[in-house]
Amino acid sequence: MIKLEPGNVLLKPSQRRQVMTGLRRSSRFGDRLGNFDLTISMQRSGKFYELRADVRAAAADFGCRSRRHDWQTALRELTADITRQLHQLCLHRAALV
């Protein structure tokens, strides 16, 4: 399950779809691991957008953070970090089996 908490960032419906599209690959990795739960919170302070992700899966729990001038770049960096860590968990789990 993916949950988006926009905080004080106003997102249009098309921008919400962009966020969910960016997380599609991470969602597939999470489904492979089982009990996948992803919560993304967005916060704007000054000129920066800060995105935080809390990931819970059957294999492990971890968090990621990105802080940039625009939310699209921050989202791109955050999704890359989430995908990288979930992929490593999938590989580690496959090596154990």
pLDDT tens track for 12-45: 999 999 888 889 888 998 888 889 999 999 999 9
Write b or e for each residue in 30-49: b if 16 or more Cβ atoms lie within 10 A of its Cβ, otherwise e. bebbeebebebbbeeeeeeb
State the pTM of this model. Answer: 0.89
- CATH code for the domain in which residue 58 is found: 3.30.160.100
* pLDDT interval class at 79 (50, 70, 90): very high
| Reported confidence tier of residue 58, pLDDT bands at 50, 70, 90 | confident
**Residue 11, burial from CB neighbour count under 10 angstroms (0-12, 13-18, 19+):** middle
The domain in which residue 14 lies consists of 2-96
Please give the tally of structural domains in the chain: 1
